[in-house]
Every structure is written in structure tokens, then in C-alpha cells.
Amino acid sequence: MAVGEYPFPVMPPVEGVSIGIAAAGIKKADRNDVLLFSLCEGASVAGVFTQNTFCAAPIKICREHLQLARPRLLVVNSGNANACTGSSGRANALSVCDQVASQYGLSAAEVLPFSTGVIGEPLPVGKINAVVPALVQSAQEDNWQLAARAIMTTDTRPKGATRQIEIDGTTVTVNGIAKGAGMINPNMATMLGFIATDVAIDQTVLQGLVREAAGLSFNRITIDGDTSTNDACMVMASGKAGNKLIADPHSDSYAALKAAVNEVCIELAQMIVADGEGATKFVTIDVKGGASHDECLKVAYAVAHSPLIKTALFASDPNWGRIVAAIGYAGVENLDDTLVRVHLNDVLIVENGGRAESYTEEQGQKVMSGERIGIHIDLGRGDCSERLWTTDLSYEYVRINADYRT
């Protein structure tokens, strides 16, 4: 199950970023499950990573390698997360880095490793290393759709988004792919996102850009409240577009690039929600009128994480009592319940501490029967607002997660 249609877009090549693909048989035979991004010399790479204490070995290595060298290769496998695998997990991830680095005459520190899949199983390092030559041979700049498919786990469809903009009179391309369907919660989702652009940009400036873009997109989606051990969002910039190097985050060039990257990231984040495990609804939660951004987020997450609201969404039941209950327990201090207003799409359902007089069950039912539902909450006590996206909770979610390892 998944909400809506998201046909994979036509993605132009990004000069200076080639992509190799191979089938290592990590979890299933004859399925592409390893991916190698190879970057031209001089490329900038920046990223944000999971906040989970039990982060996977490859995440720890990424953080270290980014301190040591400018990355030239990003190697990604699906089917195994190499998380909670202790010291052998680290050795395995480093072995893969070594293997791909040697093919290009680079050092292991110039390689960033990524893994996604089941936690706690040893990485089948022999299988991965065996396909490294195939990764190198298959490398092409227009392998984006194959790449998006190779990183899927419980995803039902590949996720890609693309934009082209003009900077300094030259065309700049921003491509992105992502995977993720469950264990989705901010900081970060169980997701991998790889954004590539041919823009020329300073590495430090790029780091600020990816942090902001992730904050507006991947960190604003939630499916089940679980935060993965393996999440990462990387932005690679080859510098081949021919624009003047972007070194000032207050420049027009930066603003134009940022807008394009944000759009790509938000589009990918929404695709992850729409493909949420067992999702039958795509839900936008807006909270405004807050005294702080923090309290807006508290309310938004309380609503987004409530299993009672999520099952009511699944049932297309306008059970607004569960929404106000969640607002009430979100932990906003001294909230005046008589000032809170709640709309379902454009239908006012709650005001003055109870059901709106104008509201009819028929109106609520009409909104809830749709596939896209907006829950708009006004706390009536300030000027801050926040938005996030989530899904319902269906039988299918339980089935997928009860069956995942079997």
C-alpha cells in the first residue's frame, strides 16, 4: 500500500558524479543492492547523520572520514544495516572502504560507507567486496533510477526528485534519491538520502545548506516515531556546472541553490511518507499560534504519533476527540483549551473547548474519506508555527513489521 502516484522523474545526469550498481545477493539474489557514487576531483560533500547512540558502524566511519579527507567515493548497500555489530561491524565496513578505494588508487579515508537493512546481522563483506569490480565497470552518470531502486528495503517504489536552475547564467542540476518507509522519525528517519549537484560550492557552506534542508524535510516527517541507527542525508557537489564558486551563504546564488535543494528534499521526504509502511493516508499537520516553535512541534508530534489518531485516520473516522486529547497531553504549559481551534482541511471542528457549533459529522467524514488530509491546529497564543507530515496506522503496517525478518 502507498498513497498516490509518484512516477519516477526523468533525471538528467550530473556531470562529475557517476554511479555504479551491482547485485551482491545480500538479502535476495539477482537484485541490485550495492551502489557506488564516484565523484570527480575537487567535489564537495556534506551530510547529516542519525542522532541514535547505537548508530551503525558505517555512520561512525563516515563521521571520522569526513574529518580526515575530502570524500571521493560513497558506497551504499541495502539488505543489511551493519548496526549493533560491535568491533567486527567496524572492521567489515572498513574492509569495503579499502576494497573500493584500491580500485581508484585512493585511500580508505576518501570513502564514505552507508548501509541500510536489518540490524544486528554481520555484514556479508565477502559478497560486497566480490562485486566491487562490477561497481566500477557499471559506473555511469545516468544511473539514477537504478540507484534509487538499489537502496530500497521495505519501500514499494523508488524515490527521486530533480530540479534545474540558472546560476551565473549557467544551468545547475540538483538530483536526489532517497529510501525509507518505516522507522521514520526526525533526527533522522530510517532513511538514506543522496543529493548530487554539479554546482561549485564551498564545503563549509554546503554543510550549512544540507543541515537546513534536512531540517525542513527529512526531519519533519514521522511514520512510527522510531529513529534508525543508520540514517544519513548527503549532498555531493561536483563543481562542474561552471558557476562562480558559492562561498557566501548570503548571496543570491546560495539562495537559488538552497531553494532547489530544499524542494528536492521536501519532495523526497513527502514521497517517503506517502510510501510509509502500510500507509493509506498522507497527513499534513500544521500547528500555528504557538508561543514557541518547540511547543508547536510538541503538539504536532503528539498528534502525529498517537496510535489512536492514526487508527482513526486509517478508518476515515473524524474522531476529533482523539485529536484534542493529544493536543491536551502534548505538554504545552498553561494551554488555554478554550482558545484552541482545529480544522480538518477547511472544516472547523473544534473551538471554545468543544466541538464547533457549525460542525457536522458529514463534513468531517467527507474530509477523512480523502487520501490527503490536513490537520490544522491553532493554539491561539503566539506567532510561531511548524509543519510536518505523517501517515495513518493500518493492518498492513502491523503485517509488514511483524513479518519483516521472516
Which residue numbers are catalytic?
190
| Residue with Cβ nearer a second copy (198 or 392) | 392
The DSSP symbol for 166 reads: E
280 binding a second copy? (CB under 8 A): no
Taking CB under 8 A as the rule, which mask of x and - marks residues 209-238 in contact with a second copy? Answer: ---------------xxxxxx---------
Q: Which stretch binds a second copy (CB under 8 A): 140-148, 149-157, 206-214, 390-398?
A: 390-398
Q: Which stretch binds a second copy (CB under 8 A): 14-22, 100-108, 267-275, 304-312?
A: 304-312
Q: Which stretch binds a second copy (CB under 8 A): 137-145, 208-216, 251-259, 388-396?
A: 388-396
**The dihedral formed by the CA atoms of 232, 191, 37 and 264, expressed in degrees to the nearest 10:** -90
CB of 52 to a second copy, least distance (A): 4
Say how far apart CA 113 and CA 108 lie, in whole Å. 10
Binding residues for a second copy, total number by CB under 8 A: 66
CB of 189 to a second copy, least distance (A): 11
* Whole-number Cα distances in Å, 15 to 36, 230, 242, 357: 15, 28, 11, 59
The answer to whether the CB of 372 falls within 8 A of the CB of 321 is: no
Q: Which residues pair with 74 in a beta bridge?
A: 37, 112
| Residue with Cβ nearer a second copy (200 or 273) | 273
Binding to a second copy, residues 48-107 (CB under 8 A)? 51-55, 81, 83-89
Query: Residue 104 corresponds to which cell in the numbers above?
Result: 581508484
CA-nearest of 89, 140, 139 to 119 is 89
Sign of CA dihedral 317, 304, 191, 282: positive
Q: Strands 232-237 and 192-197, how do they pair? A: parallel
Judged by the rule CB under 8 A, the positions of this chain that interact with a second copy are 51-55, 81, 83-89, 118-120, 182-183, 185, 187, 224-229, 305-308, 311-312, 314-315, 317, 319-322, 324-329, 332, 335, 337, 340, 350, 352-355, 393-395, 397-399, 401-406
